[in-house]
Amino acid sequence: MNATPLPPDNTAGLRPQVLDWCVRRQRADWSTADEQAFQHWLEADASHRSAYLQWEQHSAAIDAIPADALAQLRRNLAHDKAQLAAAETPAPRAAAAATVLRRRWVLPSLGMAAALLMTSGTGLLAWQHWQARPLFTQAYASERGQQLEVQLPDGSQLRLDTATRLEVAYYRDRREVLLHEGQAVFSVQASPQRPFHVLSGPVGITVVGTRFSVRYTPGLAGSNGVRVAVEEGQVRVVRRDGVPGPALAQIPEALTLVAGQQISADSQGSLAPVQPVAAEGIAAWREHRISFVNTPLSQALAEFERYGSTGLTISDPAVAALRLSGTFDPSDSLTLRKLLPQALPVRLQQLAGGLEIRAAR
């Protein structure tokens, strides 16, 4: 395999620009104006086009490396990088570098691409960029009161509940979803070589193939943590403390959930004990149902408001603290208004701005 090296040291200043253009051209929102700016950059100086073409050729050579050899390359790169970093003085560092150059594990089929990755700082930068470059990125959002079905490139499916925002990124070695807010059900196609990570506030979830739900509503009082529930397969849940997806497997304090189990975490990521999934399943909202069990009325009303305006308000703290239990259609505020005075010692008072829930006289 032949590989063209990156620009020599006298053009090292171009590398950040080349990397920036490479990453930006992979994004889904790349526009005609962006392409025009890129072409203008190429034409501004002959060295720009040369550096970019060399990078593309080098990246293509890396893409052609067989998967098994690539896995071996990744393991040895990590080892060699640690070995070089551990050498604090010039002499040990030179000896460590010489050891790296003498390694015999590089297979002939890797050719110059693998050798370049092993022996040069530029090659290591190329490797890191190649690994970090997403193959697919897309943001999805559902409106208030809307549910959204999404099919991902690998056949995995997402179902977003009301007012949910998330971002999906697929890489060569993993699949990631960043759940900003809301709740979703994930039906993940199994791929042992590419684990599926969901990053939801302070919690990280990792699976290979399964069906599970994640809820994260940071702005909702009394429900501002994370809840994970499993319908099929197994799910690994950790408090991630900002750790990115690729490093989740390195966190030892993880809990594994199996089908029929769920777990909650507070806003700081502290995990509660594992509990059985409620009778209505991991996501009753798929059937347009929400359930409450001894839930403060103010919190229940806030949950209704996620799906649409109820026209109801509460000003009395004692009324807000009343406990509500039952199953409701979140889009049917008329039925809610009829049931509330039957379920709780309250009445509805007509005001200029709508209805206020007050204590029954």
Q: For residue range 190-248, list pLDDT tens digits in order.
A: 988 899 999 999 999 999 889 999 999 998 888 889 999 999 999 999 998 877 777 88
DSSP-based three-state secondary structure for 144 = coil
Q: What's the confidence (pLDDT) of residue 212? A: 95
More confident residue, 13 or 334: 334
DSSP-based three-state secondary structure for 292 = strand
- CA 344, 346, 347, 348 torsion-angle sign: negative
Contacts of 295 (CB under 8 A, 6+ apart): 323, 324, 325
Percent of the chain's residues with pLDDT above 90: 48
Contact of 232 with 259, CB cutoff 8 Å = yes
Q: What's the confidence (pLDDT) of residue 342? A: 92
Q: What's the confidence (pLDDT) of residue 74? A: 58
Q: Which residues pair with 149 in a beta bridge?
A: 159
